[in-house]
Every structure is written in C-alpha cells, then in structure tokens.
C-alpha cells in the first residue's frame, strides 16, 4: 500500500479511491481527508495533482497501513457515539468501554450535500448526531442500556429549549425518540480519548453552565461541561 504510485490521471485516481472507499470505515474523518482528491474528479476541471492532493494521497496510504484494529460490538457494554460537524463534512466514532478501556467499533464520515452546506451551524450539528445514529441504528437499538453521545457543540441547547421547531428539526426529534440515550457536552480540553474528534474552541459555554432537559418524545438529553450530575 505504501508503494501505491501517485495517480497521473482521473482513471488512476478513481481506481485508488475505489479501493479506499471500500475500507473507509477504518479511517476516521475519511470524507474530510479526500476533499482535494475528489475535487479532481469533477468534469471540466483540469487534472492538477497539487500539494494538497498529494498530501491527502500520502496521508491515506499511511493510514491504511496503521489503521486501528476495530473491536467487535457487544450489546451489553457501555456505548459511546462521538460526532463532529465541520463546514463541509460530518464525522463520527462508535466506541464501547470494557475492562481494558475505550475501544473503537467503527468510524464513518459523510461529505455534506449542497443543500446541507447551507444549514445553520446548530442544524449541521444536529444533523451530525442524527446521521451517526442512522448509520449505527441497528447496533444502538440492540443495547441493554442507554448509550452516550459526546459532542463539542454547546449550541445544541437551541434545539432543546426551542418551543418552535422547523419541519426538519421536528423530523429529527421524532427520529431521536427511538433511542435511549444521553447527549453530553464535552469540550476538547476535557476529552481524554486519543480518538476524540476535532473540537472547536468557539462553542465553549461559560464554565459551570449545565443544560438538562427532556423533550416530549422521551429523548433524554444532557448537555454539560464538567460531567454528569443527577437532576
């Protein structure tokens, strides 16, 4: 894999990405890491393998040879979903905790569609959670106990406290009602896992502020800064 030659044309790049896409679940934030490469596949665009494309190509080659070993899913273990939404893509990690610590079960990512690129930031963040839960719905619904969603987005309080939801938000709320879960606000400086997704500093709330609520659909959500407290 490390000796894979640099693609010299669209056909060669398509061949490489075809292989990469088949194993993309082993690469965290995969969609973010191929943006420069996929842009070279656009029609009427010159095939110029610039420094950014070369960097992404080399990074992928290395990651495919050092990708973490994924653990088998166990419905009886504590389960964590970590999500991240950027301007252009979504990323998520499914993990479980056993006596040896936190183990990754799956990685996934999604390049935002043109319509999704226009979402407000809080809607992108909510979309990230909904998308991750859809990806692993079968796993999550089989759990014996509630699972935890870790997010670095404090603006999720907008969704919880709002009395008026858009049609899209109402649809998401109905979907989220299927799950027994908590959403925990986890600033990057408090994240201890090396596999934690990238986090932004500009969404941190004031220290000590907790937001706890329960929506009409029984989707219990907790957004906090310094750990879970009983309400």
Predicted confidence (pLDDT) at residue 196 exceeds the cutoff of 80: no
Mean pLDDT value of segment 170-182: 89
Task: Kindly write down the DSSP assignment for every residue of 109-153, as one continuous string.
Answer: EEEPPHHHHTS-HHHHHHHHHHHHHHHTHHHHHT-SS-EEEEE--
- In this predicted structure, what is the pLDDT of residue 202? 26
Predicted confidence (pLDDT) at residue 110 exceeds the cutoff of 60: yes
When comparing pLDDT for 206 and 194, which is higher? 206
Rounded to the nearest integer, the mean pLDDT of the chain is 76
Q: Which of 14-23, 83-92, 134-143, 163-172 has the highest mean pLDDT?
A: 134-143
What does pTM read for this prediction?
Answer: 0.59
- Dihedral of the CA atoms 107, 184, 152, 167 (nearest 10)? 90
As a whole-number percent, the residues of the chain with pLDDT over 70 amount to 75
Question: Are 221 and 166 within 8 A, CB to CB?
Answer: no
Residue-wise pLDDT for 56-72, tens only, equals 999 998 887 775 667 88
When comparing pLDDT for 151 and 142, which is higher? 142
- In this predicted structure, what is the pLDDT of residue 18? 84
Please give the CATH number for the structural domain made up of 79-223: 3.30.420.10
Token pair listed for 21: 């896409």
Mean pLDDT value of segment 26-30: 82
As a whole-number percent, the residues of the chain with pLDDT over 90 amount to 31
Mean pLDDT value of segment 100-126: 87
Predicted confidence (pLDDT) at residue 13 exceeds the cutoff of 60: yes
Question: Are 130 and 175 within 8 A, CB to CB?
Answer: yes
Nearest of 94, 106, 23, 27 to residue 70 by alpha carbon: 106
Mean pLDDT value of segment 134-138: 96
Q: Cα 73 vs. chain centroid, distance in angstroms? A: 18
Predicted confidence (pLDDT) at residue 209 exceeds the cutoff of 70: no
Pairing assessment for the beta strands 89-98 and 79-85 based on DSSP bridges: antiparallel
When comparing pLDDT for 74 and 86, which is higher? 74
Predicted confidence (pLDDT) at residue 190 exceeds the cutoff of 70: no
Domain with CATH 3.30.420.10 in the chain: 79-223
- In this predicted structure, what is the pLDDT of residue 161? 59
Predicted confidence (pLDDT) at residue 129 exceeds the cutoff of 70: yes
Mean pLDDT value of segment 100-116: 86
């Amino acid at each position: 894999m490390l000796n894979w030659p640099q693609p010299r044309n669209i056909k060669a790049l398509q061949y490489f990405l075809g292989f990469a896409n088949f194993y993309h679940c082993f690469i965290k934030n995969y969609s973010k890491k191929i943006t420069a490469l996929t842009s070279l596949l656009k029609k009427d665009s010159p095939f110029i393998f610039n420094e950014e494309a070369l960097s992404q190509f080399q990074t992928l080659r290395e990651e495919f040879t050092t990708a973490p070993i994924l653990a088998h899913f166990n419905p009886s273990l504590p389960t964590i979903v970590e999500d991240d939404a950027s301007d252009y893509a979504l990323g998520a990690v499914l993990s479980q905790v056993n006596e040896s610590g936190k183990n990754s079960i799956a990685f996934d990512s999604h390049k935002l569609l043109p319509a999704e690129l226009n979402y407000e930031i809080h809607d992108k963040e909510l979309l990230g959670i909904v998308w991750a839960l859809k990806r692993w719905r079968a796993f999550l619904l089989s759990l014996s106990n509630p699972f935890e969603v870790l997010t670095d987005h404090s603006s999720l309080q907008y969704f919880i406290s709002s009395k008026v939801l858009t049609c899209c938000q109402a649809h998401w709320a109905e979907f989220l009602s299927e799950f027994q879960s908590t959403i925990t606000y986890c600033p990057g400086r408090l994240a201890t896992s090396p596999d934690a997704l990238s986090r932004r500093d500009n969404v941190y709330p004031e220290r000590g502020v907790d937001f706890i609520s329960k929506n009409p659909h029984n989707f219990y959500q907790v957004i906090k800064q310094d750990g879970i407290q009983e309400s």
